[in-house]
A and B are shown apart, each in its own frame.
Chain A
Amino acid sequence: MEGNTRAKGFYRPASLILSLMLLAFPVHAQDVIWVIANPEHAAHGQFIQGLRDSLSKATQSIPTLRLLRPAELAGISIPERPILSITVGSRAAEFLNKAKLEPQRELHALIPQAAYQKLYPQWKTDSLASTHSAIYVNQPISRLLRLARLVLTDSPRIGVLLGPWSRIHEDELKRTGKVVNIHTIGAKRQLIPALQGILPRSNLLLALPDPTVYNRSSAHAVLLNSYRHRVPVLAFSRSYTRAGALLSLYSTPGQIGRQTGELVTRMATTGAWKLPPPTHPQYFSISINRQVAYSMGLSLATESELSVQLNAGKSSP
């Protein structure tokens, strides 16, 4: 909240001045990487830790990390041009995107795919290639569906509830042919009718992150209704598993930090600093709610067994 206050009161004129300064006195600080994050945010803290741990293993020299809060983009006293800016989370990405600094390399980590595509509507075109990229916070649909197949004994009848943000996955879900029930809602109040529409026809509910559909206050409706229909939920966080989803597939901020660090190390090694296309998290975790599995009469392999199977089958469709 402090950042917001600063943004309103101080950042606005300062950012303009800074932009002008950067244009007037371009300083090439090739040995600096900006990490734009809010270290008090638990997830950001874990990301930074994962990034640092990963970089500490590098054998060659890595540019210095310079940690900036999103709002501090405006307050930099010595204008510099980093070799790479890593934003952590949507807010940092949004600040950097809107700050209108001199074009630079941007890696947006821990960002929902939908947020990245909204910020950079041209994400599909070549104009961003090698200068802008992302490591999304959400899992690839293909990985989720592979896990669903490993868990379901019956032929899959997967139900998916999409919201305004997660509907970007609609085409991909339809293309797989494995997701039979897709329902899109536009507002929170449509959630329960939508659940009741798809649960009777599904044997698994695939939950994709979207704050309109899956938030703190909707968890009761989602989990109680699906349990009532004996439809297990495949969700996206350890917290959702603990709350009552059968299992979750997710990447911890630390895992995404590690992946970011490995990418930085690779680029530093080659010296080319060319960013690969946006990608989903490479490392992931699975958590299973054994009480829910037991109550639903489902016998699941262990988390590590499922992870191994999921990694082993990643090349198959």
Chain B
Amino acid sequence: MIKILVMVLSRLIASSLLLMPIAGLANSPALPSEDSVYFELPVVLSATRLEQPMLDTPASITVIDREMIVASGAREIYELFRMVPGFQVGSDNGGVHTVTYHGLGDQFSRRMQVLVDGRSVYTPAVGLVEWSNFSVDLDDIERIEVVRGPNAASYGANAFLGVISIHTRHPTVEQGTQLKVIRGGNGIEHYRARYAGSAGPLSFRASIGHRADDGFDRRHDSKRSTLGNLRAEWLIGSTDRLEFQAGFNDGRRQDGFIGDPLQNPRAKADSTHFGMLRWQHVFQPEHELSLQAYYNYFDRKETYGSGFFIPTPSPVTQRRYDLELEHRFSPHKHWRVVWGGSARLDQVDAPLFLGVSRPRLQNHLYRLFSNVEWHLLPALNFNAGVMMENNDITGTDWSPRLALNYRIRPRVAIRASISKSVRTPSFFENNVDWKMPIAGGGGATALIFLGSDTLQPEKIIARELGLIASTANGVFRLELKAFRNSLSQVISTSGGAPFTFINKSSATVEGLEGQLQWRPTPQTRFILSQSNGRTTSDAANLVASTPSATTHLLGIFDLGNRYDASFSFTRVSQMEWLGEGNLVPSFRRVDLRLARRFGARGNEGQIALIVQNLMERHIDFRDQNRLGRTGFLQLELPL
């Protein structure tokens, strides 16, 4: 019986084996075919994604990469710019941060273009950057490129003292879910979840978080906010890519001082969001066309005034609509051209500050730009760029730039460049009309600020002579530059009650600065940034605002056994911030980070201890802000 069963079974198996090829061919996980070699691919590293080698860039650029971001121990984005030669950072309070280059800065980073994935985020009303209102977090950032110097020809309006271009992480750089918790002294709480995944031609990355801290000691400046962002990319065929981004940040920030008639202790309720769509068509790796549109929204509700003035609601709503077209191509192997245009509408509703009679101000801004790169000789690279801008406030302005890079050896180049840029006055500078009702005044008001409506743009002419060098094995990389920036028609406040803004001063900032990177072993990296400079001007406050020397040293160590350590040393010589800022005596700051990674390699979690400002208590931006030591623990868990 069993014998018969075995026979029948073996017959069945044999016949099914005979039939299998056909069934198998249709359904089985196929053998790898020749198509595993000859499949078609879209262009991934197209011209916009490829960076120009440092030896040939027309401007001095400092890159803050992911490793530096992590090693810096920074908890907020603005802190990273300490690492950039010549940059200073400060905090007017725990939620208002400022970043400037060679001084010339007040509580607002007014003279800086800041882009997040090509989206300009400085606010139209004051031209400032709300660093603590970003919808992207430090962990969303892949790298930051900082152009030290004006670069309107490439980056558009407000690229005056410098350009900060933030690139967020592509959805395919990391996958899966990650949770992150930061807890520490000073009420530091930060919770974050991130998910990244892909499905066929669609890849996406979303993160959401909540963050809070208590700001400075003895100041009414704690903040808490909820933020989130989404980045999705859809590949259409082999030539087109559609990218969508959106984000929000909602929170409350305290501000003000007891007894101050304007800066009364108060809470600012901020709400921001944005949406962006970008379409890119790649004809050839070096020939592409992109069209992007975005919308930024910012809304603040707060109530100004106490004591002398009747507390008055001062809502501010700002909107930006922007459409930009860019075309890159290479007409000849020695030539590369980028050109494009954009149209922008900025809208501000701020009745208390800009006058109740004109609750909405608008500015239309149109821009045409082009940059031509010409490799005259293998060792000689010539860049010429120009931007023409027309806006409702100051009319038409031109911003040209010329740069010549010459490779004296294969890895050593010198650069000479000259560029001119303008900064259009903000609505607040040009159109302010701020009256406050006087307490017990029977309806009488006091005029605090009144704009002249006749401001001209600030102008800068920047001259640079640079040296870029590296060793073949990448152990040393050096970038040095001597610079001379001549500013004119600099806008400052004037008079008193009412104050106004005028094109008042001229200034020349000159000096020598650079960055040296040293990788003695693959596990160790040092990055030294040094800047020495001075400002000469008819305005004493501009002279005093520039520190004579700033130093930053970042040390990164892979200690083995999955331990990482890093330190960040900062030294800034005496400087006096403009606006609400004060004299900040020379100070030194040391931050330390020690981390241990765990879990599967490539999808690791980690726990890190970070101590900021280990050495000395010092003034930050204004007298009332005393920065002490802060420590926090950070836990990252991949799920």
Contacts and interface: CB of A to CB of B under 8 A. Distances in A.
Interface stretch (B29-37, B78-86, B439-447, B503-511): B29-37
B32 A192 contact: no
Contacts of B20: 98
Interface string B47-69: 10111111100000000001000
Contacts of B54: 297
A209 interface: yes
Nearest to B39: A216
Contact of B47 (A43, A236, A291): A291
A32 interface: no
A61 interface: no
Interface in A121-141: 137-138
Interface string A271-296: 00000000000000000010110111
B602 A193 contact: yes
Given A220-B172, A224-B170, A295-B51, A94 B36 contact: no
Given A211-B32, A297-B55, A192 B602 contact: yes
A61 to B, nearest CB: 30
Interface in B188-243: 198, 200-201, 203, 235
A118 interface: yes
A253 B410 CA distance: 38
Interface in B500-539: 522
B201 A11 contact: no
Nearest to B200: A217
A153 interface: yes
B21 A4 contact: no
Interface in A2-35: 4, 7-8, 11-12, 15-16
A294 B24 contact: no
A89 B32 CA distance: 10
B286 interface: yes
Interface in B1-48: 18-22, 24-26, 30-45, 47
22 contacts: A4-B26, A7-B26, A8-B26, A12-B19, A42-B38, A90-B33, A91-B30, A98-B20, A114-B31, A114-B32, A115-B33, A210-B36, A214-B36, A220-B172, A237-B38, A242-B41, A243-B44, A253-B34, A294-B53, A295-B50, A297-B54, A297-B411
Interface string B437-480: 00000000000000000000000000000000010110000000
Closest 5 CB pairs of A and B: A98-B21, A244-B45, A193-B602, A197-B602, A221-B172
Contact of A216 (B33, B41, B55, B286): B41
A243 B40 CA distance: 9
Given A7-B25, A11-B22, A195-B602, A299 B39 contact: no
A215 B39 contact: yes
A91 B32 contact: no
Given A91-B25, A99-B21, A210-B36, 16 more contacts: A12-B22, A94-B31, A114-B32, A119-B31, A193-B175, A194-B602, A196-B603, A211-B32, A214-B36, A216-B39, A217-B201, A243-B41, A243-B44, A244-B43, A297-B411, A297-B470
Contacts of A227: 45, 49-50
A99 B25 CA distance: 11
Nearest to B410: A299
Interface centre among A95, A111, A137 (most CB of B within 10 A): A137
B601 interface: yes
Nearest to A9: B22
A295 B53 contact: yes
Contacts of B203: 220
A240 to B, nearest CB: 6
Given A99-B21, A115-B33, A209-B37, A225 B43 contact: no
B83 to A, nearest CB: 19
Interface in A190-225: 192-197, 201, 209-211, 214-217, 219-221, 223-225
B21 A95 contact: yes
Contacts of A138: 37
Interface in A153-210: 153-154, 165, 189, 192-197, 201, 209-210
B21 A223 contact: no
Contacts of A111: 34
Given A193-B603, A291-B286, A299-B410, A225 B172 contact: yes
Interface residues of A, number: 70
Chain A CB count within 10 A is highest, among B21, B198, B411, for B21
B600 interface: yes
A79 to B, nearest CB: 19
Contacts of A292: 45, 50
A154 B472 CA distance: 8
A7 B24 CA distance: 11
Contacts of A104: none
A105 B554 CA distance: 67
A60 interface: no
Contacts of A57: none
- Classify the interface of chain A: helix, strand, loop or mixed: helix
B472 A153 contact: yes
B377 interface: no
B21 A219 contact: no
B31 A243 contact: no
A283 to B, nearest CB: 15
B222 to A, nearest CB: 37
Interface string B415-428: 00000000000000
A118 B47 contact: no
Contacts of A43: 34-35, 38
A154 to B, nearest CB: 6
A44 B499 CA distance: 79
B213 to A, nearest CB: 31
Interface in B378-416: 410-411
A100 interface: yes
Contacts of B31: 90, 94, 112, 114-115, 118-119
Contacts of A294: 50, 53
Nearest to B241: A220
B43 A89 contact: no
A302 interface: no
Counting chain B CB atoms within 10 Å of each CB, the highest count among A16, A114, A295 belongs to A295
A242 B239 CA distance: 12
B198 A217 contact: yes
Given A115-B32, A192-B602, A94 B21 contact: yes
A111 B32 CA distance: 8
A227 B172 CA distance: 13
A237 B35 CA distance: 11
B44 A219 contact: yes
A112 to B, nearest CB: 5
Contacts of A119: 31
Contacts of A165: 32, 36
Contact of B33 (A89, A100, A223): A89
A216 B44 CA distance: 11
B41 A236 contact: no
A165 B26 CA distance: 20
Specify which of B31, B66, B175, B600 lies most central, judged by the most chain A CB atoms within 10 Å of its CB: B31
Nearest to B336: A291
A208 B603 CA distance: 23
Nearest to B175: A192
B43 to A, nearest CB: 6
A100 B36 CA distance: 27
A216 B25 CA distance: 22
